Structure 1
Amino acid sequence: MKFSSSLKFNAVSEWWDEYIAYDALKKCIYHLEKQQHAHDHHYPDLESNEQSNLLGEDDSSKTDALFIPLLDRELKKIVLFYEQQKNELIEDFNDLEKDVEFQETLGLQGGAHYEDYEDGDEDDDESISSPRSPEGARRSLSRHRKTSSAGRQPRPSTDLSPAQRRTSISSVEELDENHPSIGRGTLGRLSRGLSNLRGSLISTASGGADLEQDHTIWNARSDYAYDTRLLYKRRITTLYISFTNLRSYVEVNYSGFRKAIKKYDKVTESALKDRYLHDAVEVAAPFTQAEKDVLNDAVNRLVEIYTKCISHGDKAMARQQLRLHQRESIAWERDTVWRQMIGRERRGEGAVHDLSGATLVHGSESALADIPTPVGKFRITKRRIAMLSAVAVLVLLLNVPILQEQAPNRCLAILSFCTVLWATEAIPLFVTSMFVPFLLVVLRVICDAEGVQLSPPKATKYVFSVMFSPTIMLLIGGFTISSALSKTNIDRILITRVLNLAGTRPSTVLLTFMGVSCFASMWISNVAAPTLCFTLIRPILRTLPPGSAFGPCLILAIALAANIGGQSSPISSPQNLIALQNMDPALDWASWFAVALPVSAVSIVLIWILLLISYKPARSPDGEGDIEIRAIRPTNEPFTAKQYWVTFVCLVTIGLWCFAHMIEDYLGDMGVIALIPVVAFFSTGVLKKDDFDNFMWTIVFLAMGGIALGKGVESSGLLEILHEIIERIVDGYTLYPVVLILSPIVLIVSTFISHTIASILLCPIAAAVGKSLPGNYSNLLVFITGLICSAGMGMPVSGFPNQTAATQENELGELYLTNIDFLKNGVPASIIATLVVSTLGFLLMQIVGV
């Protein structure tokens, strides 16, 4: 979580304006960076339209002179607020100690005036029983304390009537319901239990008072003692929460100063952090060890008082209960914010995207028409039209015998139904995939080797057995490697070190970023790789002169390169795994790399040349000279033992994948090898349960549905029928003309729908076409289809990298890219990548023997 978000959710809501203005400081840092870079390279200052003369080249002292007063202002604000809060709390704490001593002196003799207190102090009692926050509770209890110290202590009589006793317990339960820092009903349950015990004891003792002669106010069982303890429990708990909140306030603000100055040093190449923290922050009142000792001592003394007054000498119980109240107070503070965020997501407000980049839900989808019905208006939207169309296609094809045999005809209906839903994205893609096994079983599409339809129990076992295939395990193994590389920061370390070598020439920086984006997409998926790269280029984008073409050129280049990287390794994208699933036998990693790596490298270079010609990114906006790019500074952190372990396991796993066919007699399939990183990382604590929960399970279920559909097409006999039709269509064509016919079809389909869905639909067709050709080139055509699916990148919605690039904004909230950028550059880039696959890739496949 970013620190700005962490600050938001760890702050006391009532004190929000008194915390360090971290976001404002960050904006000032970026403004100083822009001024510094503009002066160094003689760019005009954006605000004054003049050349900045505030900052000298390689001189951080002038930026320090501008930034330190901002820090001083925040520090002064925090010190004043801390002193005010601390003094109030210390005063309340001292009053609490005096009241505890007075109560001990008074003992059980104060019950005589309890009825007077109930009749005369209703206002005070109401003020105590309805605080809405710890701060409000503390103020109301302070008022009550002053009243009590004047001689109006709660002094119940032990001979209260049953009605009066019920009134007392009722007020306690109301107090429990209204107080935010204590769990709802906690004191109510406690009061009911003690009330029953107390009632039984008093009813069996003559007079009731003689029974308690040996008890103190802190352990007696009378109504007066019980209600007194509840009052002091509330006061102690409220003060404890206030002190711990103030202690947290100090810690969060210290972290804020450290984070802000660290970012300032990194951006402006200064060395202010250690000096300012030592000379200014750590000597200020809230952050000194003496002040920390004051707060810690008050907290510890409150635990002691709670131990004596409430927990009958059990200090461990006292500490446990107070911490529980503290946690519940924090949860109450955050409850509204979290509920708003979660409720917004559950209501579907704002676009929700699946991991393949396709928009699934639009909370603000406009209605095409509203039809009044007896139960309200029925909204007609594009999504509902698409859903109704898919259902209509399914019902129509189930009732119209297009094919003679029942099972293939029903399978065609299911295939058409899923194709409409996948193409229109009327419902989430993985949900459509979950329709597949259901429909295959219910409609009895699965057949045995003789063509006899399987019964639903047998069909169920077959469908679910093929859904979790070695290909799915390979996908999970890829997710594990990606998560481990990201969590241990290996990806960022390697990428920043490579980018540091790129220098400052725009063309070189552009090509380097494209290579890094492509390589990262091979191992951490083309979902995470562009996001990481877009984060790394932020310092470059902030320091570009206004109107520079390098910004949009760089963003588009990263997206296109990430798409190309999606074809470079078997685990870089789901479409590659779908292609492997449709190969017989499956291709080993060494053969895949022998084809995909040269194809990707040539595509990257050609697309780089295209972008240089189209954007001319090196030229300055005024047309005079070239711009100079700020270099990316590498991280100086050395590799840790955990990072060496992750690197070792990843290299071993990839090596075994490359030679899977040679060792299949020992390790079986590549899916078994995929278990190695799963076991190695989760058993050693590199990854946790939460990391496993965060895997891209929507992609897993999407792929499982695609595999089930493919097996259904094969088992039902539909594939054989398609094979005969395709054989007649390609009759007379040799292999390469078929490649040239198939390539543009795959490109067009993958441009307008998800790459993964395109592979699910087209790879079985390519396999059938390959089997129709003399020599059985099924694997070759499936391989080409899988590679070209990643090349469909001509539209903003063509894959996740494009979707992410299309949302990148500058500091003014303006988008870097438009649809024209994609049409002008994305479409030619897609054509170039497709031609490379169908020419160079085809030759390499022939050489490798695919």
Structure 2
Amino acid sequence: MQSFGAAARTLLCLILAALVYTLSSSPEPLRAGLAIFVLVGGLWMTQAIHLSATALLVPLLAVLLGLMGMREALSSFAHPIIFLFLGGFALAAALQRHGLDRALAMGVLRLAGGHRMRSVLFLFGLSAFLSMWISNTACAAMMLPLALGLMSEESDTEPPIGVREKTFVLLGLAYSASIGGMGTLVGSPPNAIAAAQAGIGFAQWLMIGLPLVLLMLPLMIGVLYVVLRPKLQGRIAVKQESLAWTREQRITTLVFGITAACWVAGAPLGRLLGVSSGIDSLVALVAVIALVATGTLAWPELEKRTPFGVLLLFGGGLALSQVMAVSGASRFLADQLLAVLQGAPLPLVLLGVVAFVVFITELVSNTASAALLVPIFIGVASALGLPPQLLAAAIAVAASCAFMLPVATPPNAIVFATGQITQGTMMRCGLLLNMVSIGVITLVVAWVWL
């Protein structure tokens, strides 16, 4: 019965994509790009085919429909961010292998006085703060072992942590990293793209970013609490455990500390080494090699602990971004939105743009969304007599608020890779949080510039 349902959903997605391709009078590349977007987006949303297998459809269809060559179509699967993922997974595996994730968790519990909920809230706040200064991906990768360690601790007064509690912690971690990235110019690539093209300074960005972080973080926690109803009120006995500090533990701690420091100091380190982009990924590769070369993490164990399907999934998302850019589909969709909103009241225009970016970023990388749409909407702002910073900033922060799908953002993919969250739950929580973020972004951006 389940296979029949999957086949029916697949057929429906194929029919919709075929209708888009055959009935439109648009140029061939545009029709092809829109058809791929509809098919792949539909399959990801309905889970009719495994997410990673669907991701492989993107380069296949791009080549068959003549949008790009095979080498270009597959290049996204070797994107630097894929190797940043790999480094994060390797660090998490090494920390877990040698019991250091548990030691980190006990340290946080001591700070929180043994209160489980307080520990989790501390984790969310710390993740959001770090993500304001380092990449969201690096932040989520660094904090994941701590989250896993917290979930492994048992309470003296409550039953063992269950599925709802694990989902609350992991989704909260991912969403905190994404929300924190909105806070500063350096927090997320879309912020820098918007600032460069609209002339927004660091201090001016803080006027938008900090209120958004301060509003969205408690709202996110509230949404997850209402949807999931986790039971995290218990106290955990804080055990005074002393580490043996084996050779492997010392090396793992050293590699983790140096990697985290290099991620935090990514910009100056890149300038020092003459690396203009991808310094976080370079650091991640060094970490992987160091862990394996020192015997701290055996390669077979890294293979076993690395969810390669998630790496393929995110590679497919990046490939879809390429397809949307090459085919002109992103510009076409933005133009259609503009036509619909023409003559509408300004708050409605802003609301429509924010909603459009939030939901398109569920399937297209946030950096690609910003790079494609910011120039378009700066022109739209000029045509409407609005300050260009208005729509540019709205697009940038909206691109960080895709909470529904694993493919939407790297933090989503990282926590989904643990296998402890279902896509259905992520979609249910993420949809509600998407709607909340649309309203909050619209109000904050309008408050700053209108």
What is the TM-score with the length of structure 1 in the denominator? 0.40
Preserved CA contact (<8 Å) 1:497 1:634: no
The alpha carbon displacement at 1:418 in A equals 0.9
Counterpart in the other structure of 1:511: 118
Is residue 425 of structure 1 aligned with residue 425 of structure 2?
no
Instruction: Please give the alpha-carbon distance, in whole angstroms, between the structure 2 residues aligned to 1:833 and 1:709.
Output: 24
Distance 1:830 1:664, change over 3 A: same
Cα deviation per residue 1:708-758 (whole Å; 9 max; x = unaligned)? 2221222223334334333434556799765533445666x59xxxxxx81
Counterpart in the other structure of 1:789: 402
1:434 pairs with 56, 61, 75, which one? Answer: 56
The alpha carbon displacement at 1:604 in A equals 4.3
Counterpart in the other structure of 2:130: none
2:319 pairs with 699, 703, 708, which one? Answer: 708
Pick which of 766-775 and 577-586 moved more. Answer: 577-586
Pick which of 434-443 and 576-585 moved more. Answer: 576-585
Preserved CA contact (<8 Å) 2:92 2:144: no
Q: Give RMSD over aligned pairs.
A: 5.0
Work out the number of aligned pairs and report it: 405
2:332 pairs with 721, 736, 741, which one? Answer: 721
- 2:159 maps to a residue whose letter is R
Distance 1:528 1:680, change over 3 A: closer
Secondary structure class of the residue paired with 1:398: helix
Where do 1:733-812 residues align within 5 Å?
A: 738-744=349-355, 758-760=362-364, 768-770=372-374, 771-773=376-378, 774=381, 775=388, 780-790=393-403, 800=416, 804=420
Where do 1:100-111 residues align within 5 Å?
A: none
Distance 1:461 1:801, change over 3 A: closer
Distance 1:580 1:394, change over 3 A: farther
Counterpart in the other structure of 1:464: 74
Preserved CA contact (<8 Å) 1:482 1:523: no
1:629 pairs with 217, 235, 253, which one? Answer: 235
Instruction: Please give the alpha-carbon distance, in whole angstroms, between the structure 1 residues aligned to 2:91 and 2:209.
Output: 20
Instruction: Please give the alpha-carbon distance, in whole angstroms, between the structure 2 residues aligned to 1:581 and 1:431.
Output: 33
Counterpart in the other structure of 1:683: 293
The alpha carbon displacement at 1:406 in A equals 1.3
- 2:254 maps to a residue whose letter is W
Preserved CA contact (<8 Å) 2:51 2:313: yes
Greater length-normalized contact order (CA 8 Å, ≥ 6 residues apart): 2
Cα deviation per residue 1:497-540 (whole Å; 9 max; x = unaligned)? 12123236xxx642322222565793437876655433224544
Is residue 692 of structure 1 aligned with residue 299 of structure 2?
no
Secondary structure class of the residue paired with 2:402: helix
Query: Structure 1 regions of 5+ residues with no counterpart?
Result: 1-365, 368-379, 447-458, 544-549, 571-575, 619-626, 751-756, 808-818
Secondary structure class of the residue paired with 2:158: helix
Preserved CA contact (<8 Å) 1:514 1:557: no
Counterpart in the other structure of 1:651: 260
Distance 1:769 1:495, change over 3 A: same
Preserved CA contact (<8 Å) 2:194 2:370: no
Counterpart in the other structure of 1:497: 107
Distance 1:424 1:608, change over 3 A: closer
Cα deviation per residue 1:371-405 (whole Å; 9 max; x = unaligned)? xxxxxxxxx721010112222233333333x1331
Instruction: Please give the alpha-carbon distance, in whole angstroms, between the structure 1 residues aligned to 2:148 and 2:167.
Output: 13
Secondary structure class of the residue paired with 1:677: helix
The alpha carbon displacement at 1:785 in A equals 3.1
What is the TM-score with the length of structure 2 in the denominator? 0.69
Counterpart in the other structure of 1:483: 93
Secondary structure class of the residue paired with 1:760: coil
Counterpart in the other structure of 1:44: none
Instruction: Please give the alpha-carbon distance, in whole angstroms, between the structure 2 residues aligned to 1:461 and 1:523.
Output: 30
Where do 1:511-660 residues align within 5 Å?
A: 511-516=118-123, 519=126, 522-524=139-141, 531-542=148-159, 558-559=169-170, 561-567=172-178, 603-605=216-218, 629-637=235-243, 639=245, 640-659=249-268
Preserved CA contact (<8 Å) 1:667 1:673: no
Distance 1:470 1:581, change over 3 A: farther
- 2:64 maps to a residue whose letter is V
Preserved CA contact (<8 Å) 1:556 1:805: yes
Distance 1:477 1:531, change over 3 A: closer
Instruction: Please give the alpha-carbon distance, in whole angstroms, between the structure 2 residues aligned to 1:485 and 1:598.
Output: 35
Instruction: Please give the alpha-carbon distance, in whole angstroms, between the structure 2 residues aligned to 1:597 and 1:537.
Output: 35
Instruction: Please give the alpha-carbon distance, in whole angstroms, between the structure 1 residues aligned to 2:102 and 2:446.
Output: 35
Distance 1:724 1:601, change over 3 A: closer
Counterpart in the other structure of 2:133: none
Instruction: Please give the alpha-carbon distance, in whole angstroms, between the structure 2 residues aligned to 1:496 and 1:578.
Output: 34
Preserved CA contact (<8 Å) 1:527 1:801: no
Preserved CA contact (<8 Å) 1:515 1:604: no
Where do 1:265-284 residues align within 5 Å?
A: none
Report which of the two structures shows the higher radius of gyration computed on alpha carbons. 1
Counterpart in the other structure of 2:132: none
Instruction: Please give the alpha-carbon distance, in whole angstroms, between the structure 2 residues aligned to 1:566 and 1:611.
Output: 15
Preserved CA contact (<8 Å) 2:255 2:291: yes
Instruction: Please give the alpha-carbon distance, in whole angstroms, between the structure 1 residues aligned to 2:227 and 2:332.
Output: 47
Instruction: Please give the alpha-carbon distance, in whole angstroms, between the structure 1 residues aligned to 2:341 and 2:59.
Output: 32
Secondary structure class of the residue paired with 1:632: coil
Instruction: Please give the alpha-carbon distance, in whole angstroms, between the structure 2 residues aligned to 1:834 and 1:634.
Output: 45
Pick which of 736-745 and 694-703 moved more. Answer: 736-745
Cα deviation per residue 1:69-95 (whole Å; 9 max; x = unaligned)? xxxxxxxxxxxxxxxxxxxxxxxxxxx
Cα deviation per residue 1:803-837 (whole Å; 9 max; x = unaligned)? 94799xxxxxxxxxxx9xx99x9987766566555
Preserved CA contact (<8 Å) 1:583 1:779: yes
- 1:685 maps to a residue whose letter is G
Distance 1:682 1:742, change over 3 A: farther
Preserved CA contact (<8 Å) 1:534 1:555: yes
Counterpart in the other structure of 1:342: none
Preserved CA contact (<8 Å) 1:653 1:673: yes
- 1:760 maps to a residue whose letter is V
Pick which of 487-496 and 761-770 moved more. Answer: 761-770
Is residue 386 of structure 1 aligned with residue 9 of structure 2?
yes
The alpha carbon displacement at 1:445 in A equals 1.9
Preserved CA contact (<8 Å) 2:164 2:230: yes
Secondary structure class of the residue paired with 1:403: coil
Distance 1:413 1:582, change over 3 A: farther
- 2:53 maps to a residue whose letter is V
Instruction: Please give the alpha-carbon distance, in whole angstroms, between the structure 2 residues aligned to 1:615 and 1:390.
Output: 30
Instruction: Please give the alpha-carbon distance, in whole angstroms, between the structure 2 residues aligned to 1:421 and 1:611.
Output: 26
Preserved CA contact (<8 Å) 1:642 1:686: yes
Cα deviation per residue 1:53-74 (whole Å; 9 max; x = unaligned)? xxxxxxxxxxxxxxxxxxxxxx
Where do 1:282-361 residues align within 5 Å?
A: none
- 1:649 maps to a residue whose letter is I
Distance 1:397 1:642, change over 3 A: same
The alpha carbon displacement at 1:707 in A equals 1.7
